[in-house]
Amino acid sequence: MSSNFNGQINHTIKELLADGQEHSRKEIIEYIIEKFNNKDVTKELCSSRLSELIVTREITIVERGIYKLTPETITLHEECIDTLTNAILGLQRTANKINILSISDEEQKTLEKIKLSISHIKDDIKTFDEV
């Protein structure tokens, strides 16, 4: 895909989120596919564009599968939660690369560590929400 086409998809995502409301991943993907009349747009491409906008902090994860446009000014509190959430997403992407049908003992131990780390990070996020 050309960077121009990717940019158009990014713009379309931000267009939907510009209403200030929270939107689900499913809703965003359906919106993009409808806007582009299914032309060369796959769910995988939409997910890739969402991930890029999260990494560049143009959109924020409210909770799993729910997104909103990142406010112009983001507080330190929000930035910490975003950073922790991105850490979870990174660990999940890493874990998803492991083929569970041919997993080694070492990989199994690493998956357990990833699972524990994600659990700890989620607890850390909760402590930020309690403050």
pLDDT tens for the chain, 131 residues long, are: 566 888 888 899 999 998 889 999 999 999 998 888 867 788 888 888 898 898 888 888 888 889 998 877 677 888 888 889 889 988 998 898 888 889 999 999 999 999 999 999 999 988 887 76
Alpha carbon of residue 56 to chain centroid: 11
- Amino acid identity of residue 92, one-letter, is Q
Element holding 17 (H helix, E strand) = helix 3-17
Write down the pTM of the prediction. 0.57
Residue 57: which residues within 8 A CB-CB, separation 6 or more? 70, 74, 82
